[in-house]
Structure 1
Amino acid sequence: MNAIQSYNTGEWSPAPLCYEKVNGSCIKTTHVFGVQLVIYLFCAMGMLLVVLGNLLVVVSVFHFKILHTPTNFLLLSLALADLLLGLTVLPFSMVRSVESCWFFGDRFCRVHTLLDTVFCLVSILHLCFISIDRHYAICKPLQYPIKFTVNVACIYIAVGWSLPIAYTSVFIYTNAVDEGLSHLLKDLPCIGSCQLLFNKLWGWLNFPVFFLPCFLMITLYVKIFLVASRQAKQISNLEKMVSSSTNMRASRRERKAAKTLGIAVGIYLLCWLPFTIDSMVDSLINFSTPPLLFDIFIWFAYFNSACNPLIYVFSYSWFRKALKIVVTRQIFQSGSSTVNLFQE
């Protein structure tokens, strides 16, 4: 029987369990009420920021016709993934992190893991596609309107959702995977842990799935930065000779969009890198990462979903205008969908 020693009496007493009268139950990590309350409030504020921020992005891009561009449709799909993460995954992850137990059953554990992984992979694929979009817009501006249309963006979105769903479903809902990998763990997961048996192989497979798109994004943005810097010098020289034209303003918008999305990619890598590396290393050390450290890594990754709307607020004047119209409920007025958000 699991037990802990009382420092006041020197006697051993039973350790708190997730399920008191169930054999094989996980040991529950207890916190004082004040600490629990602070963690719950912190996680709840994070979830609220994720949900509201991405909801505003979804509503803005969907409502305003001027934002119906290939790039913005990819941003819309990315925001939808982050919104669904905040609504369907984070509430249950919050309870698991604070209570150190999974109280929602094995079946929902699989669903929760499926959604968690799918939304993560959807995000990284969409960021990769956005990098390709920006590469064409900056490096091949004459070919961009032909190469990257709304139809192409829709195909990218379909691929960006279908591949993660198919890839994740194979591991979570194929019994052969569990049966073939059960011998790899010295101890089977205790009841109340939501630890699936495929985690050892999962950590290694997710390594290339995460880093190959990241390597592609970094390569593209390095090229974008070099080309954009050269274009900025050329435009600066032209502006000294002629007055600023619409094409020049459009070119500056494209470069600013590339810079903003490059920042979003960098923050994504910063947030997800610790958790991804830990997932791979943890499979080598028989999942011995301290629960507190694991929770810090995973919530640091989760909060990345709240970053993109904040980046747009500080970077895009059109997004601030859209937010003002949405928040003040002017979107319910006739003709609001045709407002020119790019007008100075």
Structure 2
Amino acid sequence: MGCLNLSNETRHPYTARTSAPLTLLVGVLILLTVFGNVMVVMALTTSRALRAPQNLFLLSLACADILVATSVMPFSLANELMGYWYFGKVWCEIYLALDVFFCTSSIVHLCAISLDRYWSITRAIEYNLLRTPRRIKSTVFIVWMLAALISFPPLITMKKDEGKEDRPECKINDELWYIVFSSTASFFAPCAIMVLVYVRIYQVAKQRTRAPPGERSRQNGNSKDPKCIEEEEEEEGKVRGEEEVDEEQSSSDGNEVALCSLKKKRPVQRWRAERWKGRQRRERRLTLVLAVVVGVFVLCWFPFFFTYTLTAVCACCVPETLFKMFFWLGYCNSSLNPVIYTIFNHDFRRSFKKILCKKGR
């Protein structure tokens, strides 16, 4: 088994017996990626339970995965099977740029999602008031621009090695500075940020589950009364509105108002405790889902970036077949997020069932 050499990699076409199952396997992967992420887009745009502003990050991430499956993976498969680049120099440059761009975009999205989750937990009142659809859309735009700034300049300025005329090649720059820069900026640095953020989220969530609502508000640096805090949460307005109507009907004088307050005090306190427990459960579930998404992304892409950097920094021998497996393992990540949402999120499962049932009819 030969070792991978980034500066002089030889590619040999596969036999017909090998090409057929490989094409079928990658074809199924592409179809699953497109189908699953289209389902995510439809769920996020049609389900009322999934219309929270922060879910725009997941919508944008799903779009990036669809673009990977439609504009990158088919050409990677053709290049692999044919042993040379058939589609011309211009599309080679576009293909390489999109490949790096979409990968970087995915991890920057996940980094933004982890920071959004952290601020929503540690600065619940202040941040949730600022978490409007317009602000989230602006953040998504910044995410895409940041991914472009990381990805495109090195690809535009680097020297291209076109290979032989009869067997042209299409591969990323093999210079040491580019490999270190792209691996660090596109993967290792964002991963370090996400790991630190989720460790902090875990610590805060663990402290919060042990503290009552009033104590939790003080931990967040908020001096408001728990009653005022709860009034700012969603859905409470409906219940509180019903309570106010009942109170107005029985408040003909001060004594009746005091009596009504005493009657309402215990049910409202019990309701607040139940609301607090429900909110904690939702926070833990959402944090779990996003942590699993980040963890799966790291597991899928770490082997590739690690071996990619290793071969350049220390000129280590990495079996070419193993490197290609790691390369395609990274692409597999684009198809896994819909599976994760289905397994760990009830709202996504319910929305997927509704969409599929409508199509079935």
Q: What TM-score bracket applies, with the shorter chain setting the length?
A: 0.7 to 0.9
Q: Distance in 2 between matches of 1:120 and 1:96?
A: 19
Using the TM superposition, name which of 200-209 and 37-46 deviates more.
200-209
Deviation at 1:199, TM superposition (A): 4.8
Using the TM superposition, name which of 121-130 and 285-294 deviates more.
285-294
Other-structure match for 1:230: 207
Structure 2 CA distance for partners of 1:112 and 1:290, relative to 1, 3 Å: farther
Which one of the candidate residues 143, 162, 168 is aligned to 1:160?
143
SS in 2 for 1:195: coil
SS in 2 for 1:173: helix
Letter of the aligned partner of 2:95 in structure 1?
A: H
SS in 1 for 2:85: coil
| Correspondence 1:203 to 2:232 | no
Deviation at 1:104, TM superposition (A): 1.2
SS in 2 for 1:273: helix
Other-structure match for 1:57: 40
Other-structure match for 1:171: 154
Map 1:3-22 → 2, pairs under 5 A: none
Which one of the candidate residues 244, 263, 271 is aligned to 2:300?
271
SS in 2 for 1:218: helix
Q: Distance in 1 between matches of 2:82 and 2:314?
A: 24
Other-structure match for 2:330: 301
Other-structure match for 1:145: 128
Which one of the candidate residues 4, 18, 33 is aligned to 1:35?
18
Q: Distance in 1 between matches of 2:103 and 2:183?
A: 13
Which one of the candidate residues 115, 121, 131 is aligned to 1:132?
115
Other-structure match for 2:65: 82
Unaligned runs of 5+ in 2: 1-7, 216-268
Other-structure match for 1:283: 312
Q: Deviations over 1:150-207 (max 9, x none)?
A: 2221122111111222332222233xx328xx8xxxxx74443212446533211023
> Aligned Cα RMSD in Å?
2.8
Q: Deviations over 1:269-324 (max 9, x none)?
A: 11111111222223346797544222211100010111111000001111011111
Structure 2 CA distance for partners of 1:26 and 1:279, relative to 1, 3 Å: closer
Q: Distance in 1 between matches of 2:176 and 2:306?
A: 13
Q: Distance in 1 between matches of 2:318 and 2:183?
A: 18
| Correspondence 1:194 to 2:204 | no
| Correspondence 1:70 to 2:99 | no
Q: Distance in 2 between matches of 1:270 and 1:82?
A: 17
Using the TM superposition, name which of 271-280 and 85-94 deviates more.
271-280
Using the TM superposition, name which of 318-327 and 205-214 deviates more.
205-214
SS in 2 for 1:178: coil
Deviation at 1:63, TM superposition (A): 2.1
Higher helix share: 2
Which one of the candidate residues 183, 189, 192 is aligned to 1:215?
192
Letter of the aligned partner of 1:193 in structure 2?
A: E
Q: Is the Cα contact below 8 Å between 1:125 and 1:160 reproduced in 2?
A: yes
Q: Is the Cα contact below 8 Å between 2:97 and 2:151 reproduced in 1?
A: yes
Deviation at 1:59, TM superposition (A): 1.3
| Correspondence 1:116 to 2:99 | yes
Whichever of the two has the greater Rg, that structure is 2
Q: Is the Cα contact below 8 Å between 1:118 and 1:164 reproduced in 2?
A: yes
Other-structure match for 2:356: 327
Other-structure match for 1:47: 30
Structure 2 CA distance for partners of 1:158 and 1:199, relative to 1, 3 Å: farther
Q: Is the Cα contact below 8 Å between 1:171 and 1:198 reproduced in 2?
A: no
Deviation at 1:136, TM superposition (A): 1.6
Deviation at 1:229, TM superposition (A): 2.0
SS in 1 for 2:198: helix
Q: Distance in 2 between matches of 1:28 and 1:296?
A: 15
Q: Distance in 2 between matches of 1:331 and 1:30?
A: 42
Deviation at 1:146, TM superposition (A): 2.4
Q: Distance in 1 between matches of 2:13 and 2:56?
A: 45
Deviation at 1:252, TM superposition (A): 1.4
Other-structure match for 1:253: 282
Q: Is the Cα contact below 8 Å between 1:128 and 1:217 reproduced in 2?
A: yes
Deviation at 1:112, TM superposition (A): 0.6
Structure 2 CA distance for partners of 1:202 and 1:277, relative to 1, 3 Å: same
Deviation at 1:247, TM superposition (A): 3.9
The percentage of counterpart residues that share the same residue type is 28
Unaligned runs of 5+ in 1: 1-24, 183-187, 333-344
Q: Is the Cα contact below 8 Å between 2:96 and 2:171 reproduced in 1?
A: no
Letter of the aligned partner of 1:231 in structure 2?
A: R
- Name the count of aligned residue pairs: 296
Structure 2 CA distance for partners of 1:102 and 1:292, relative to 1, 3 Å: farther
Q: Is the Cα contact below 8 Å between 1:74 and 1:157 reproduced in 2?
A: yes
Deviation at 1:32, TM superposition (A): 3.1
Q: Distance in 2 between matches of 1:307 and 1:134?
A: 21
